[in-house]
Amino acid sequence: MAVDLKNYQKVNNFLLENKIDSILYGSLGVSIYLGNFKNFDDIDLLVEDVYLSDKWLDLIKIMKNNGFELIDSKEHEFINKQDLKIAFTKKSILIKDNICDPKKDIQIHHKEGILIKTLNKQAFINAYTFSSKDGYRKEKRGKNDLDIVKSLNDIN
């Protein structure tokens, strides 16, 4: 399924209704800066660590109540009947991987009438530079991560 910001809005709305604050991450998050530079196949969200540990079963229930089924517990990935994939990651990864300070380097954007909470441009540059050195991503994505870094750096 091709994913867009309207899909993100629907998911973010039901998460907020359940008092779960999320940050849009991954390539759909980067699209806030680069536009639709590719076909997006999932939504990557950062959430408080507790939702992927002590409150993991609560998150599974919330996702299930909104039509999603857990497909990969290690990757915290869900899918619905329309093949919309959602993957969750702990917010602490931003600090652990020296990407950014999640208290300072998050921005709110309005795009297509949608309120989007995501990383600032420099944090995405840091994230994609970091991931370009990761063996799994390097093998899977080739130079795509560095192409994204270059494109982000080219923006004024």
Cα torsion 41, 45, 121, 99: sign? negative
Backbone phi and psi for residue 48, each to the nearest 5 degrees, phi listed first: -55, 140
Each residue's pLDDT tens digit, 12-21: 999 999 999 9
User: What is the per-residue pLDDT for 152?
Assistant: 97
Both 64 and 135 in one domain: the answer is no
pLDDT digits (tens, 9 = 90+) for 29-66: 999 999 998 999 999 999 999 999 999 999 999 999 99
* Per-residue confidence (pLDDT) for residue 146, from 0 to 100: 86
| CATH number for position 32 | 3.30.460.40
* Claim to verify: residue 31 and residue 66 sit in the same structural domain: yes
Token pair in block for residue 65: 């109540």
pTM to 2 decimal places: 0.93
Check whether 132 has a pLDDT greater than 90: no
Residue type, 53: S
Parent domain of 124? 120-156
CA dist 79 and 123 (Å) reads: 27
Average confidence score pLDDT of the chain:
92
**Separation in Å, CA 110 to CA 10, 65, 86, 107:** 15, 28, 21, 10
User: For 115, what's the count of Cα atoms within 13 Å in the CB-facing half-sphere?
Assistant: 5
Q: Are residues 109 and 80 in the same domain?
A: yes
CB burial of residue 30 (10 Å; 0-12, 13-18, 19+): buried
- On whether residue 97 sits in a domain, the answer given is no
pLDDT at 131 over 90: no
Domain match, 81 and 10 both: yes
Same domain, 135 and 108: no
Number of domains in the chain: 2
Does residue 81 belong to any structural domain of this protein? yes
Contacts of 126 (CB under 8 A, 6+ apart): 98, 99, 100
Answer for the pair 34, 151: CB distance below 8 angstroms, yes or no.
yes
Of the CA atoms within 13 Å of residue 155, those in its CB half-sphere come to 16
Do 110 and 133 belong to one domain?
A: no
Residue 148 within a domain? yes
Q: Could you tell me if 112 and 146 lie in one domain?
A: no
Q: Is the domain of 79 the same as that of 142?
A: no
Confidence at residue 144, expressed as pLDDT on a 0 to 100 scale: 84
Strands (E), the chain: 22-25, 43-47, 68-72, 77-80, 85-90, 106-111, 114-119
Of the chain, the percentage scoring pLDDT greater than 70 comes to 94
Q: Are residues 58 and 19 in the same domain?
A: yes
Q: Has residue 135 got a pLDDT over 70?
A: no
Check whether residue 3 and residue 80 sit in a common domain: yes
Q: Are residues 81 and 67 in the same domain?
A: yes
| 45 and 64 in a common domain | yes
